[in-house]
Amino acid sequence: MRCLPEGWQFNTTPGILTLTDANTTIGYCRYDGSGEIEYLFVNPSFRRQGVATALLERVLQETGIPLKFQPPLSPLGQALVLAWEKGQARNTCT
């Protein structure tokens, strides 16, 4: 599981995972029980910092099912899916 900065926390309701700090929503992901990702958003101020990967790792942990991505995918979404599927997006805390 990816290490998050201090003060960031996951909030889970059925099918929705948000990542927040004290001031804003950093990102969120809508998913279903079959592991299908319906929507993933990362606040532009927090992009390229591993937020999407952290959200996906948490969904995977919660569902225990390999993730699938619902089309259509944006160009950024396509890049994320390719990295996820190749395993390049997986990091662990050390």
Question: Does residue 15 carry a pLDDT above 90?
Answer: yes
Classify residue 94: in a domain, yes or no: no
Classify residue 2: in a domain, yes or no: no
Classify residue 91: in a domain, yes or no: no
DSSP state of 44: G
Count the Cβ atoms, other than its own, within 10 Å of residue 31: 27
- CATH number of the domain that 42 lies in? 3.40.630.30
46: left (phi over 0), alpha (psi -120 to 50) or beta: alpha
Chain position carrying tokens 């699938």: 68
Classify residue 46: in a domain, yes or no: yes
Q: How do residues 33-88 score in pLDDT, each as one tens digit?
A: 898 999 999 999 999 899 999 999 999 999 999 999 999 999 989 999 998 988 74
**pTM for the model:** 0.86
Classify residue 93: in a domain, yes or no: no
Instruction: Please answer whether residues 15 and 52 qualify as being in contact, where contact means their C-beta atoms are separated by less than 8 angstroms.
Output: no
Classify residue 4: in a domain, yes or no: no
Total domains in the fold of the chain: 1
Classify residue 30: in a domain, yes or no: yes
